[in-house]
Amino acid sequence: MTNRHTSAAEPPPGPGEPEDVPLEFAAFCELHRPRYLSYARVWLTEHADAATAVQQAFAEIALQWRELLTSPNPTALAWQILRGTVAEHTRQPVAAPDRHPADDDLAILHYVVGLAAPEIADVIGTDTASVAGRLRRTMLHEASGW
């Protein structure tokens, strides 16, 4: 089985990412980097721009690593850092009032990146049932606009 989220062209840890990091942080990066890159590539079509945004996000996560680990949901906080970093690089417009940006992210991760609900839950730091329900709600919202 192939992993659609990895690529031989993926960069090693970049400038700004610490070289000597705790094992837990290195494992976190290895687990999430491919999915973070896939998400960033949706917004930043140049692979180098997407890689830079992800590297900057990981550098910020590294700076906050100890605090993240003491939070109730480190993965969710790391996802927010990534989303913010990608948004800074894209200068994304504010979402329409009836749209929730997090729901848009779920749709992107599911329909564009190709992640299943359990994978999305793992990436954004929530439970699978919540992701599945929000995806259904987003799909129904979009269908009602057709």
Dig out the tokens for 19 from the structure.
């070289």
Q: What local confidence, expressed as pLDDT, does residue 96 receive? A: 53
C-alpha–C-alpha distance, residues 29 and 115, integer Å? 18
Dig out the tokens for 64 from the structure.
């906050």
pLDDT, tens digit, 9 for 90 and up, residues 94-145: 555 455 678 889 999 999 999 999 999 999 999 999 999 999 988 887 766 6
Where residue 91 falls among pLDDT bands split at 50, 70, 90? confident
Residues near 31 by beta carbon (within 8 Å), at least 6 away in sequence: none
C-alpha–C-alpha distance, residues 48 and 36, integer Å? 13
The residue behind tokens 């942080």 is 25
Domain boundaries of the chain, sorted by first residue: 21-92, 96-146
C-alpha–C-alpha distance, residues 91 and 132, integer Å? 28
Q: What local confidence, expressed as pLDDT, does residue 141 receive? A: 76
pLDDT, tens digit, 9 for 90 and up, residues 4-45: 454 434 445 555 455 678 999 999 999 999 999 999 999 999
pLDDT at 85 > cutoff 60: yes
Q: What is residue 20's DSSP assignment?
A: S
Q: What CATH architecture does domain 96-146 belong to?
A: Orthogonal Bundle (1.10)
